A and B are shown apart, each in its own frame.
Chain A
Amino acid sequence: MPTTIHVEGVWKVYGAGTPREVVAVRDVSLKAGPGRVTALGGPSGSGKTTLLCIMGLLTRPTRGRVFIDGTDLTGVSEVFRTRVRRQKIGFVFQAQYLLPQLTAVENVALPLLCTDISRAEAEELAEERLTELGLGHRLHFRVAELSGGEQQRVSIARSLIRGPEVLIADEPSSSIDARQTADLLAVLRGMVDSRGLAVIVASHDPRVLDWADHVYWLRDGRVVEAGQ
């Protein structure tokens, strides 16, 4: 079932009440729907990553509410949020967070190991995903042995391994060149169109922002502009 993520009046304050208090997100409301690419633009420190984390249920907003398919998930238990993340959301992190001790296949299969799929089946699926993304010749390479672009594609393959309905990507083009970026965007667009994937991407790369269907501009944690 296609998934819609909707945040309403969310705030995120780090170190609230201390001298080091930082307001990362201020009263933001936005919606990301299926079959669309929603981009968050803005300079560094504008709150893009924090907003992505809120929408991806990786952190709770200090104030405001988060809805997925109309269900308010703001106050639900961590166990339930984890289950929703597992079933519906895939992540591509800016720092990728690939495990260096594992091979490309093992990294991609990782999200399936906490399910009832056998390891062999998981690795088979991972091989398929990596091959689709042009990494069929790097399946059993350790992450450190891959280029930045290849690592990024491993990270994307991992995010898609469970067939999520929402893909959240933080600066997906930060460590790859223009050609690789174009390839990556093409792959993602194909998934948006063919599977109805909802993609939420944070970037300050103009190519990514131009490619998105809808862009929200953030500055100092606020949405200052929104457009198609």
Chain B
Amino acid sequence: MGIRRHVNLGSYALGNVLKYGPRSAVLVLALMFSTALLCSTEFIHEGVTVDIYASASESPDIVVQRLEAGRQALVPQQWVKNASVVRGVRLVTPRVWGYVDIGGGRLVTVMGVNASVYGLAFGAVGTDVLDGGRFIQPDDRGKIVVGQGIVDLMQNAYSPVTIGVGSSLGIVAYNGTTMEFEVVGVFSSQARVFSNDLIVTDLQSARDLFGLLNASGFTDLAVWTEYHEDINDVAFRLDTRLAGSRVLTRDAIRDLQLKAYGGRAGAVALVWATSLASIVLVAFMASSAASDEARREVGLLKALGYDTVDVIEIRMFEATVISLFGASLGVSAAVFFDFVLGAPGLALFLLGWSIPLLNNGIPLAVSAQTIFTAYVVAITPVIVATVVPAWRNAITEPDTVLRGV
């Protein structure tokens, strides 16, 4: 079959798209909206997912907390020793952490660690110190290593401050006084939500900052297991050994975080699915027996000698052009909405309480898979909703279709 025939049919279909302007525009706009909604959500969801995985890779294998009356309480010094002797445990370091204001209402996380032990944990967050700096030493006091996010944050502040090795950073303590810290290193981190704007210091300095006067208490314990050990087995042993403990494995924390964000993304997906269903309905109505004009056109084309495949080709071309255009506009709108505008409203819904901690913007990620999925879910239903009714009319006798009998 000659190429000219296909060119003619494509040209006729394109003409139809343009000549039925309002109908085409409604479909394009509706598809743009639904695709933009899907993509915006997915960009954030994917960004958070990537971030959570990156964060998990920098986290300890196990975190041990202590519960008292169902609430988290300080972990006693004795637990460090008890956890260390559990079979399969390689390293244990107590941590003291909390959120502090570094000015302008920006909250960052400060984590106090046992420098001698924590520095041995390969890949732990804060240990990947950039050239020119160092990690905190066991006898350091008032020294900190900061995430690259802190450097960027201060650089982009209303009154920019350059933070680097040797500079000092004032942090508002629990009692409203400002404590001065010296930056001894800047670390890089793949995780944006949880560790890019982290400050790591020694245990005593963190206690002073948070007003934890009980010198033997810690927020939690970070545990790394022997390489050959199953983390869940070690977690079970810790749970058995430390009465009143809550033992969280890295995978459990990651899954919990994924569920928290995934659930909200699911709610948006429901809105998206509803809007897509409406579009499919509009496309179906425009192309089906419900539209006399479309039905008669198919009958006429058949009467004039068009084969069923010709009719389907025309409708498929129309649907593809409209849905491709609508989906492309939607993807572009999502990129603009998320990456330029910062997804106002949507990010707040998806990330909730995390927003105040996202000093360097919301985590975003675009993958070929997301883009491919967005196009497939935009194009396929519209093509089916357009082509199926046209096919049904095309296989019916032209006389019946034309007269509507």
- 7 residue pairs A–B, Cβ–Cβ below 8 Å: A60-B397, A78-B395, A82-B305, A82-B306, A101-B15, A113-B5, A158-B304
Distance in Å from the Cβ of A10 to the closest Cβ of chain B?
Answer: 14
A110 at the interface (CB under 8 A from B): yes
Which B positions have Cβ atoms within 8 angstroms of A? 2, 4-5, 7-9, 11-12, 15-16, 19-20, 296-297, 299-308, 310, 395, 397-400, 402, 405
A178 at the interface (CB under 8 A from B): no
**What residues of chain A lie closer than 8 Å to B301, measured between beta carbons?**
110, 114
Residue from the set A53, A82, A114 with the largest chain B CB neighbour count within 10 Å = A114
The answer to whether B397 and A91 touch across the interface, beta carbons within 8 angstroms, is: no
**What residues of chain A lie closer than 8 Å to B402, measured between beta carbons?**
58, 93, 95, 97
The answer to whether B303 and A114 touch across the interface, beta carbons within 8 angstroms, is: no
Distance in Å from the Cβ of B401 to the closest Cβ of chain A?
Answer: 9
- A-B pairs, top 5 by smallest CB distance, nearest first, are A86-B305, A116-B2, A59-B399, A101-B19, A58-B399
Distance in Å from the Cβ of A157 to the closest Cβ of chain B?
Answer: 13
From A14, A60, A79, A122, give the contact of B8 (CB < 8 A).
Answer: A122
Residues of A77-109 contacting chain B, CB below 8 A: 78-79, 82-83, 85-87, 91, 93, 95, 97, 99, 101-102, 106
Q: How large is the interface on A (under 10, 10 to 19, 20 to 34, 35 or more residues)?
A: 35 or more
Residue from the set A83, A99, A113 with the largest chain B CB neighbour count within 10 Å = A113
Besides A53-B399, A118-B8, A119-B11, 6 more A-B contacts (Cβ < 8 Å) are A58-B399, A83-B305, A101-B19, A113-B11, A114-B301, A119-B7
Cα(A58)–Cα(B16), bound, Å: 25
Contact A91/B304 with A59-B400, A97-B402, A99-B297 known, Cβ cut-off 8 Å: yes
The answer to whether A91 and B7 touch across the interface, beta carbons within 8 angstroms, is: no
Cα(A206)–Cα(B399), bound, Å: 26
A1 at the interface (CB under 8 A from B): no
Distance in Å from the Cβ of A107 to the closest Cβ of chain B?
Answer: 10
Cα(A14)–Cα(B400), bound, Å: 10
Cα(A101)–Cα(B16), bound, Å: 8
**What residues of chain B lie closer than 8 Å to A110, measured between beta carbons?**
12, 301, 304
Contact A118/B4 with A59-B400, A78-B395 known, Cβ cut-off 8 Å: yes
Cα(A162)–Cα(B304), bound, Å: 10
The answer to whether B398 and A114 touch across the interface, beta carbons within 8 angstroms, is: no
The answer to whether A85 and B303 touch across the interface, beta carbons within 8 angstroms, is: yes
**What residues of chain A lie closer than 8 Å to B16, measured between beta carbons?**
101
